[in-house]
Chains A and B, each alone.
Chain A
Amino acid sequence: MTNSNMRRAFIHDRPSEITPQGVYLRRRQLIQALAGGAAGTAMASWALRDALAQAPRPGKLAALPGVRSAVAGAATMEKLTDYKDASSYNNFYEFGTDKADPAQNAHTLKTTPWTVEIEGQVKKPGKYAIEDLLKLSAQEERVYRLRCVEGWSMVIPWVGYSLAELIRKVEPLGNAKYLEFVTLADKKVMSGVGSRVLDWPYVEGLRMDEAMHPLAMLSFGMYGEVLPNQNGAPVRLVVPWKYGFKSGKSLVKIRFVEKQPATAWNRAAPGEYGFFSNVNPDVDHPRWSQATERRIGEDGLFTKKRKTLMFNGYASQVDQLYAGMDLRKFY
């Protein structure tokens, strides 16, 4: 930790910024584990990662720096996808179904003012302004693999923090079993919302334990800058072990509910998209194989596609969430 970071860590504008004891203790455990050498290799790769030059900031949008994340699995060593590819090849149907559409059409989106409404089974429901959400927890940089259900993948340095930070803050009640994420559907600024491709608004969901997993992330930026509109500005979900469509963009509402939410793709094509949609090379999409993937901008035109990993390579972090579940049935 640099000196300035340390100084920042001890000044708290509000009590909510103080690190909860549980998190504090877990960090201690991590440090102990590191000192014990159990994670010596992890530490070495960290150090290496620091030494490596990151992709230079694209310089297109406002800076949003993040400290390197301590969450296990949050810093893959793989080569970052070019910002240009990550911001011009998007599935964001509210702005059109072609992957080039969002970059062309999303400039109409107004991201200020913006609020995210928390409702349902929580002690502290209400509307949270984006400015407050940005400050709710320290912004971290996390380099995640992104695997699209269509069979391509990217490596993206997101900026944000664990969704669990927000969940703890709003204090879910005992009967809150699932989270439902509702994204913006504004016909006036989103050219694709008039289409009948999906039932708008786009709704996604997670089980509470999935949502609480430290890898599940609320993201506000990428490549050291705030999110481009086409990538889901001003705030989106990033759940790296699930297919990309699970990570809702431009969130406007999070509902804490008792029953499993009806998600947009599951309603549109239940035989093709299940609620869980974990990355799984053994369960094919009805119309194509999920065993392999093409890494955008990296694999040459004639390179064989690379093998897709179980839970997108995050199995050691997340497979206990699905212990005893038949993942063919719960796809």
Chain B
Amino acid sequence: MTQAGPDAGRVGPGNFVRSFRHSTRMRKLLTRPMAKPLLFGLALLPFIWLVYGAATQSLGANPAEALIRSTGDWTLRFLCLVLLVTPLRVVSSTPALARFRRMLGLFVYFYAVLHLLCYGWLDMGFDIADIARDIVKRPFILVGFSAFVLLSLLAATSFNRAIKRMGARRWQLLHRLVYVVSVLAVLHFFWMRAGKNDFAEVAVYAAILGSLLVWRLVHARRGKPR
């Protein structure tokens, strides 16, 4: 798959991007009709694994906590993935990657919905009054819930008719809210871990999302289109 040349065989990000760019086979793979269903299936794997774990009681001593935390983790992971699409597409000149952006974005929402559902159901027993009190009372919950509300807006305007009706410019402006969502999501996670002074994992997500946002800033300043 690697291009033959002086760089061939050397491992490094530059090499990876180059090989990606010049690999016609990779491009063909991305434009195959099967590519989307395949990604869909892969993105569902964590969900299937969690349902299986809950059904077979293999999620440890506190399955409720495990479900709430895992769905939160997967929301963050898909957020990283969806924000990786554009930088990877531009750097590797692989426009075909754009095909997967919406689906990945909707998977962010899917896992966020599961996360909220697990919290509301397993932790709060679906007591709406209690949940409402909890959201207002605790900044950590409020921040998470705000991110969810913003994500709902994005998910609700994710189909083609919405783009047409809003106009591409306004739609794009609205969907830049995903940057706000990623800041809120990291803050939510940070606050949750703050009590244990345990920021190792938070730092990983903050670094990934931060560098993806910084790349966009730098890229925009260079004046290159999109």
Closest to A91 in B: B196
Q: Which residues of B contact A286 (CB under 8 A)?
A: 138
A287 touches B60 (CB 8 A): no
Q: How far is the CB of A180 from chain B (nearest CB, A)?
A: 22
Q: Which of B62, B64, B191, B197 contacts A287 (CB 8 A)?
A: B191
Q: Does A142 contact B (CB under 8 A)?
A: no
Q: Which residues of B contact A287 (CB under 8 A)?
A: 138, 140, 191-192, 194-195
Q: Which of A89, A269, A272 contacts B62 (CB 8 A)?
A: A89
Contact with B along A278-317 (1 / 0, CB 8 A): 0000001111110000101100011011000000000000
Q: Which of A97, A296, A305 contacts B125 (CB 8 A)?
A: A305
B60 touches A89 (CB 8 A): yes
Q: Which residues of B contact A93 (CB under 8 A)?
A: 196
Q: Which of B63, B134, B192, B198 contacts A301 (CB 8 A)?
A: B63
Interface residue tally of chain A, by bracket?
20 to 34
Contact with A along B50-66 (1 / 0, CB 8 A): 00001000001111110
Complexed CA–CA distance, A97 and B138 (Å): 23
B138 touches A100 (CB 8 A): no
Contact with B along A192-232 (1 / 0, CB 8 A): 00001110000000000000000000000000000000000
Q: Does A268 contact B (CB under 8 A)?
A: yes
Q: Which residues of B contact A131 (CB under 8 A)?
A: none
B60 touches A288 (CB 8 A): no
Complexed CA–CA distance, A287 and B137 (Å): 9
Q: Does A114 contact B (CB under 8 A)?
A: no
Q: Which residues of A contact B122 (CB under 8 A)?
A: 301-302
Complexed CA–CA distance, A164 and B123 (Å): 38
Q: Does A88 contact B (CB under 8 A)?
A: yes
A268 touches B197 (CB 8 A): yes
B121 touches A197 (CB 8 A): no
Contact with A along B175-203 (1 / 0, CB 8 A): 00000000000000001101111100000
A294 touches B62 (CB 8 A): yes
A302 touches B62 (CB 8 A): no
Q: How far is the CB of A97 from chain B (nearest CB, A)?
A: 5
Q: How far is the CB of A81 from chain B (nearest CB, A)?
A: 9
Q: Which residues of B contact A84 (CB under 8 A)?
A: 61
Complexed CA–CA distance, A99 and B61 (Å): 9
Q: How far is the CB of A300 from chain B (nearest CB, A)?
A: 9
Complexed CA–CA distance, A197 and B196 (Å): 6
Q: Which of A152, A272, A304 contacts B65 (CB 8 A)?
A: A152
Closest to A93 in B: B196
Complexed CA–CA distance, A305 and B126 (Å): 11
A97 touches B196 (CB 8 A): yes
Closest to A84 in B: B61
Q: Does A85 contact B (CB under 8 A)?
A: yes
Interface residues of B in 126-163 (CB under 8 A from A): 127, 134, 137-138, 140
Complexed CA–CA distance, A93 and B195 (Å): 13
Contacts known (A287-B195, A302-B121); A152 close to B62, Cβ less than 8 A: yes
Q: How far is the CB of B126 from chain A (nearest CB, A)?
A: 9
Contact with B along A69-98 (1 / 0, CB 8 A): 000000000000000110011000100010
Complexed CA–CA distance, A196 and B63 (Å): 28
A197 touches B138 (CB 8 A): no
Contacts known (A197-B198, A287-B192, A287-B195); A304 close to B125, Cβ less than 8 A: yes
Closest to A96 in B: B198
Complexed CA–CA distance, A93 and B122 (Å): 26
Complexed CA–CA distance, A302 and B126 (Å): 10
Interface residues of B in 49-91 (CB under 8 A from A): 54, 60-65, 67
Q: How far is the CB of A255 from chain B (nearest CB, A)?
A: 25
Q: Which residues of B contact A269 (CB under 8 A)?
A: 194-195, 197
Q: Which of B61, B64, B125 contacts A88 (CB 8 A)?
A: B61
Complexed CA–CA distance, A84 and B192 (Å): 27
A97 touches B61 (CB 8 A): no
Q: Which residues of B contact A296 (CB under 8 A)?
A: 61-62
Q: Which residues of A contact B123 (CB under 8 A)?
A: 305
Q: How far is the CB of A134 from chain B (nearest CB, A)?
A: 29
Contacts known (A198-B197, A301-B122); A288 close to B138, Cβ less than 8 A: yes
Contacts known (A196-B197, A287-B138, A288-B138); A301 close to B64, Cβ less than 8 A: yes
Which B residues form the contact surface with A (CB < 8 A)?
A: 54, 60-65, 67, 121-123, 125, 127, 134, 137-138, 140, 191-192, 194-198
- List 4 additional A-B contacts (Cβ < 8 Å) besides A287-B191, A301-B63: A152-B62, A197-B197, A296-B62, A301-B64
Which A residues form the contact surface with B (CB < 8 A)?
A: 84-85, 88-89, 93, 97, 99-100, 152, 196-198, 268-269, 272, 284-289, 294, 296-297, 301-302, 304-305
Could you name 6 residue pairs across A and B whose Cβ atoms are closer than 8 Å?
A84-B61, A88-B60, A89-B60, A197-B196, A268-B197, A296-B62
